[in-house]
Chain A
């Protein structure tokens, strides 16, 4: 998972300036980041450090003032609005702090929604949704409505919705923010398992304990990446039998 492989997400020298002149705020100042298949990257930083801006730009919901953003090798800047919207629907899954499930739809219908919006026929979409729920081990929730599920269950359904179909990039904004410690950890375990199965994910969090599930932790301060932490080589830590 290095320079040789193709990054699912690549940000190159991204700047984002909000406002003008006296009220100008530099939300991002030259951020470069590449996320490869199978990688979970956590972004940490205090409020105002630019982490939410980073996530919205990575997902094509906002555009950089300068610099480039590529998702699966396609430059978002080279796409028109419709093209960007399409790429968002087909390549990117989102997970939010407050789950954002549609209350009138069951778990399976929620998970099928991105595919249906993209024109996939209802039956095929439902099949893919059930497969996603099954892979995450929550098929028994398929016919429940959001108000019949706990927060942790809703967030797991939201992750199913984020990975349904062929989407390989998940962007998660404080996915454990509304969950208790134990449930948050279960959600992280699930996200980790998805990444181990090949998905790439970027997660914004302010909880170090949750960021620690990531392969890399990126620290943002004032719109600049100040440091990254990666695990030590596994040989330094474990008996070979555990590896």
Chain B
């Protein structure tokens, strides 16, 4: 459907949202009726706007594990050589449990930007103000792109609803990152002023260290779950 840069790149080695969400999503899709691997992949990507692409090998290996665990069963082929899968009663129960259980937030996902900033404020000679501004610009650019995709989506088309909710999730994540960057900037400025007050020889005026410098690379835009 749509390909958003930054996401594919950042999600290459690991499923954003974790493999558990793929496993349960595929299982849940089978509640609509038996499907084969390519169909499952297409349905998953239709609902998520292609935000987290799956390869078909991943779909079949997930199906194999679900079958091993007794959550799906093979239903022969559809007459065109496609192996069909259906959820077992245990599979249906597992889907119900998944929907009824909140997603855990216990272990913070590794956040490259937070790590980068934490390191930057402690390492001498880094223009943290410039780093924040560059990141804010980069994240704002991504946010503008998500918003353009949203503006194009037909608001009254129910088929688009699932995908626009995923887009909204990206929008809110980017917005929250920008707010967090604003917050960091404010705190750093305050710290700078406090430091200047403690050393009377220097100026109380905060140095305007927010001029962009080209030496800092913005972190790749967040790809949804981080």
Contact = CB atoms under 8 A, between A and B. Distances in A.
Interface in A145-178: none
A229 B137 contact: yes
Given A209-B171, A221-B208, A232-B5, A46 B182 contact: yes
A108 interface: no
Nearest to A216: B144
A238 interface: yes
A208 B174 CA distance: 9
A227 B138 CA distance: 11
A222 B208 CA distance: 8
B45 interface: no
Contact of B144 (A222, A231, A242): A231
Contact of A212 (B1, B147, B182): B147
Contacts of B178: 208
Nearest to A186: B155
B141 A229 contact: yes
A227 B212 contact: yes
Interface in B73-127: none
B3 A237 contact: yes
A237 B140 contact: no
Interface string A197-214: 000000000011101111
A180 B182 CA distance: 22
Interface in A14-60: 46
Grouping DSSP codes into helix (H, G, I), strand (E, B) and loop, the A interface class, with mixed when no group exceeds half, is: mixed
A224 interface: yes
Given A219-B133, A237-B4, A239-B3, A209 B172 contact: yes
B175 interface: yes
Given A46-B186, A208-B140, A209-B171, A221 B210 contact: yes
Interface residues of A, number: 27
Nearest to A29: B208
A214 B145 CA distance: 10
Given A221-B208, A236-B5, A238-B2, A213 B151 contact: yes
Contacts of B212: 226-227
Contact of A208 (B1, B143, B186): B143
B148 interface: yes
B24 interface: no
B179 interface: yes
B189 to A, nearest CB: 9
A192 interface: yes
A81 interface: no
Contact of B171 (A212, A224, A239): A212
B137 A219 contact: yes
Contact of B211 (A207, A213, A226): A226
B140 A217 contact: yes
Interface string A83-110: 0000000000000000000000000000
23 contacts: A208-B143, A208-B175, A209-B172, A209-B175, A211-B143, A212-B140, A212-B146, A212-B174, A213-B144, A213-B151, A217-B137, A217-B144, A219-B133, A219-B137, A221-B208, A226-B133, A227-B137, A229-B137, A229-B138, A231-B144, A237-B2, A237-B5, A239-B1
Interface of B: 1-5, 133-134, 136-138, 140-141, 143-149, 151-152, 171-172, 174-175, 178-179, 182, 186, 208, 210-212
